Amino acid sequence: MASSFPSVQQLAAEARRVYGQVFGGDAPQVAVCAPGRVNLIGEHTDYNQGFVLPMALPLVTVVVGSQTSGQDVTIVTATEEADEPRRVDFSLPSDGSPLSPGLPSWANYVKGVIQHYRAPPVPGFRAVIASSVPLGGGLSSSASLEVAFYTFLQQLKPDDGDKVSKAVACQQAEHTHAGVPCGIMDQFVSVFGREGHALLIDCRSLEATPVPLADPGLVILITNSNVKHSLTGSEYPMRRRQCEEAASILGKASLRDATMKDLEEARARLDDVTYQRARHVIEEIDRTARAAEALKRGAYKEFGKLMVESHNSLRDLYEVSCRELDELVSAAMEVEGVFGSRMTGGGFGGCTVTLLQAHAIDRTTLHIQERYSGTPTFYVTTPSEGARALGLS
C-alpha cells in the first residue's frame, strides 16, 4: 500500500498553527513552498555538464513567516529532525560577514541561502518550516528547503536575479554551508518543476525541455529503502574528483565533451576505477538523451530498459548502489506490468523509482514488500509544480 502524505495546504496549515503557538498568536505574512524531486534517469551526470531527467514531486517543504524590524532570525521546524533542536536563533551580521555553519545542521541550508541571496542585506525574520519530503531519503529534502527559503526571502525583499540564478545560489548554499559539492539538478528542478512534465535539463547550458508525463495508464512509484549508509559524505566528492581527473586525462573540459571512442583511445592512461567512472558518465549522458526521446514517444518499454541499464551501471561501474537498492530493483522487475526500475539520487541508500502500468500497482507494492529484506515505504507520485508563493487563506 502506498503511503499518503499531507497536501501543500495541510502542511501550510500545520506551519501556521505552529507559528501562532511559538510567536504568541501572531499570523505569518508570507507562505511559500518548494518541491523535492525524483530523478527518472541521468544519475551523477549533472556535475559532468550532462543531461538529467528529473521531475518535481508533490512532496514539498513549506515555509511560513514574517519580516521583523531588527537583525534577528528565529526559525522553527515543525518536522521531526533526528536528535536536533527544532528551533534556532541567530543575528544577521550587520557588516555582511559570513554566517558560519553550525548546529542544528538543518539550519545550515538556511544560513547558506541567506549568504548567497542575490539582494543583500536580508532583513530579520521569523519563520516555521514544515516538510513532507523524507529526510535523507534521496528525494532532495535539502534542495527543497534551500529553494523554499530563497522563495521566502523573495517575498520579503525581491531579488534582482532570474530563476536560473536562484537555482545556482541555492546550489552554492549547499556547497558552502552543507559541504556537499553537488551538481545543479536538485535545486534546478525544485525551481523549474512543471506539473505533468519531467524536465530534460542540459546541465551545461542550463536549459530545460519539459517532457510530458501525465499518462493515466502509467504510475511513477517511489520506494524508500529506509536505509542510508554513511558513505555518501565521502564518496560523493570522491566520484566528482574521479570524473574531473578522467576529463583532464582525456583533454576535455568535462566528460560531457568525451565520447566512448575518446575513452577507449585513452584506456592505457587510465586506471581501472577512473575508466569505469568515466564510462558510466559518458554512457549515462547518452542514455538520458535517448530516454527523453523514448518518453516523448510514449515508448515506455524502451524507457524502462534504459532505466535498468542505468541502475546496473550505477551498481557495477559507478559503485553507488547498495544491497537494499539492488533488492528493490530486482523485486520490482519481477512483476508483470513494470517497465523499469532504478536507484535514484546520490545512492548508498534512499529510494528507487519504478515506472509501471497503473493496473499493476497493487501487485507491485505487495511483491516488493514480500521480497525486500527491510521495510519499504511507497509513494505514488505525479510530476508537480516548482517553487511558488501560497495564498494565506
* 346 is a site residue for ligand GAF (CB under 6 A): yes
CB neighbour class for 134 (10 Å; exposed up to 12, middle 13-18, buried from 19): buried
Q: DSSP characters for 214-280?
A: --TTEEEEEEEEEEE-TTHHHHHHHHHHHHHHHHHHHT-SSGGG--HHHHHHTGGGS-HHHHHHHHH
State which amino acid sits at residue 308: V
Site residues for ligand GAF, 34-93, by CB under 6 A, read 43-44, 46-47
Q: Which of 28, 36, 50, 183 forms a contact with ligand GAF (CB under 6 A)?
A: 183
* 309 is a site residue for ligand GAF (CB under 6 A): no
251/330 Cα distance (integer angstroms): 38
152/65 Cα distance (integer angstroms): 8
- Torsions phi, psi of 377, nearest 5? -120, 135
CB neighbour class for 305 (10 Å; exposed up to 12, middle 13-18, buried from 19): middle
* Contact string 186-215 vs ligand GAF (x = CB under 6 A): x-----------------------------
Contact range with ligand GAF by CB under 6 A, out of 17-25, 58-66, 69-77, 182-190:
182-190
Q: Is 186 marked active-site?
A: yes
- Closest CB to ligand GAF among residues 340, 345: 345
Q: Smallest distance, Å, CB 186 to ligand GAF?
A: 5
- Closest CB to ligand GAF among residues 68, 105: 105
Q: Which of 58, 65, 304, 345 forms a contact with ligand GAF (CB under 6 A)?
A: 345
- Closest CB to ligand GAF among residues 37, 126: 37
* 182 is a site residue for ligand GAF (CB under 6 A): yes
Indicate which residue of 89, 160, 186, 362 is catalytic.
Answer: 186
Helices (H) and strands (E) in the chain — how many of each? 11, 13
Residues that bind ligand GAF (CB under 6 A): 43-44, 46-47, 182-183, 185-186, 345-346
Instruction: List, by residue number, the catalytic residues.
Output: 186
